[in-house]
Amino acid sequence: MKNLFVIGAAGLLGAGSLLAQQYDIYLSGSTAFRNNCYDACSKLFDGGAPATHRGDGTSPENKSTLWTMSGTCSNILGATVTNVVVIHGSWNGSVAGLYALGTPFGVPFYKSASSADTTLVTNTPTGALSDVDSRATLYPLSSSSFWEKYVCVQPFIFVKSLSSAVAGINNVAFGQLQQMLANSAAPLSQFTGNIGDTNTTVYLVERTLDSGTRVTQFAESQFSGSVNQLYYYDTVGNTGYYVATTNRYTGSALDPLFTAGGFGFGYVGGGDIANVLKVNQANNTAIAGLSFADAKSVGSANWANMLSYNGQYPILNYTPGVAPTTNDFGPVITGKYSFWAYEVFAWPKQAQYGTYPDQPTPYSVVSTLLNKLAGYNGTTTTKGSFVGGVGSFDNEIYLSQPAGATAIRLGDMHSSRQSVGGPISTF
């Protein structure tokens, strides 16, 4: 078993014996929040952008589902701490991240930030991001052993595919969502009200059970039944069709939970679903619930294929089919739009962390860096002014306003809820 050094903040600055170490931070969980996490982490390092390695070559790189970045963080850890800090990101789903954090369960990460090094290492996450708090999942975390902090609000949006056959769909209602969750499909006439649309089937393209987006959909619709099958879009030549299955997943084969069938069938990430919706073929008649980060990529113009939910769009003054010029989340902020959840950042408290022999990084380093990401080194003055500082999730959302934000700062909210999908209170 490896020795785990646990020291105080003062000891961190003066302990020369520790300065020969490489400090590793392993983050996993939410695919919906992966771009925000990447951007925030990149600001933790000294001297500009850190060295990075993204495994799938996705562009922009903050959408990658597997990345590693390295550099020094002496601006946060202290001037005398010049060790290399390596942050490893592996994004396989909110519930999967919580499960791996609390079990603990090994998750594959890239070993280094060198693009020439494709070595994978399996490790328990240091921290996990989730679109829902652990109470809404099958893997609740003990409050005595784990920190679980709200860091922002994650809005979700229903999006339609590019097929002209679903051009008439503009809204998803509460009852329609329940029907789609139960059956994974419904006739087009359910959305358009046109009796002549009964020959076209609309499919709900859905995630695996480790998805925070999926958990939020179930909670939002108060649906508690079982899902008998999901549909996948296959392409053969220049044509495509949907097939039903109960034993297939589509996405990263790197996740060992899927090898074991841990989270059942469905698409692994929101990016996988966005790629399906972007296939512009007549038979691709589908809708899906996505994070804004993934929804923005569907359509020839960003956000142009969004659907309202119960007659409300999450951004103000949206014109259907037209990319918005701003992303004013006023309807979410004021409680008019309900398809959202709190983004949660979870990591072990010191006692629990000490039971993980695969993480030799001193807990004081873990605590300092993860608290910085969570924004709890920042200050709150008047409402809406909280900024967690450079390197925090809050600051990244703040910097992305008003043109590109995909999440909402906690200090900007004028509404709240006590549970995922629960009643909304305004203040």
Euclidean distance between the first and final Cα of the chain, in Å?
51
Q: Domain boundary residue among 311, 340, 369?
A: 340
What average pLDDT does this structure show over 288-314? 86
- Give mean pLDDT, residues 151-168: 94
The residue type of 255 is: D
Strand ranges (E), 274-372? 286-291, 306-309, 340-348
* 301 part of a folded domain: yes
Max CA pair span of the chain: 76
Residue 236 — pLDDT band, cuts 50, 70, 90?
A: low
Q: What stretch of H or E contains 9?
A: helix 9-14
Mark whether 279 and 187 lie in a shared domain. Answer: yes
Final residue in a domain of this structure, among 340, 361, 392: 340
Q: What pLDDT is stored for residue 302 in this prediction?
A: 64
For the cut 50, the answer to whether the pLDDT of residue 17 exceeds it is no
- In terms of Cα–Cα distance, which of 23, 126, 18 is closest to 70? 23
Q: Are residues 283 and 336 in the same domain?
A: yes
Kindly state whether residue 424 falls inside one of the protein's structural domains: no
In a domain, 85, yes or no: yes
Same domain, 311 and 349: no
Residues 148 and 165 reside in one and the same domain: no
Give the CATH number for residue 286: 3.40.190
Domain-located, residue 352 = yes
Whose structure tokens read 């008019």? 336
Question: Whole domain around residue 349: which residue ranges?
Answer: 9-152+342-417
- Tell whether 267 and 406 lie within a shared domain: no
Regarding whether 100 and 164 lie in a shared domain, the answer is: no
Nearest CA among 25, 13, 36 for reference residue 296? 36
The total domain count for the chain is 2
Task: Note whether residue 399 is domain-resident.
Answer: yes
Domain boundary among 297, 320, 340: 340
| Core vs surface per residue 284-309: b (16+ CB within 10 A) or e | bbbbbbbbbbbbbbbbeebbbbbbbb
Give yes or no for a contact between 171 and 307, defined as CB atoms under 8 angstroms apart.
yes
User: CB-based burial of residue 181 (10 Å sphere; 0-12 exposed, 13-18 middle, 19+ buried)?
Assistant: buried
Confidence of residue 237 (pLDDT cuts 50, 70, 90): low
Is it the case that residue 53 has pLDDT exceeding 80?
A: no
Q: What is the mean pLDDT of the chain?
A: 82
Residue 120, burial from CB neighbour count under 10 angstroms (0-12, 13-18, 19+)? middle
Mean pLDDT: which of 31-35, 158-162, 388-392 is highest? 158-162
In the prediction, which pLDDT does 290 show? 94
- Does pLDDT of 254 surpass 80? no
Query: Which of the 8 DSSP states describes residue 140?
Result: P
Which two tokens mark 178?
A: 């329940």
Q: Is the pLDDT of residue 383 over 50?
A: no
The reply to whether 380 falls in a domain is yes
What span, in angstroms and rounded, lies between the C-alpha atoms of 206 and 220?
15
Query: Is residue 63 in a domain?
Result: yes
Say yes or no: 158 and 212 in one domain. Answer: yes
Q: What is the pLDDT of residue 376?
A: 59
Residue 262 confidence (pLDDT) = 58
Are residues 354 and 329 part of one domain? no
Same domain, 272 and 329: yes
Residues 114 and 204 placed together within one structural domain of the fold: no
Same-domain check for residues 194 and 269: yes
Are 142 and 196 in the same domain? Answer: no
Give a yes or no: residue 55 inside a domain: yes
Angle separating helix axes 363-374 and 34-42, nearest 10 degrees: 120
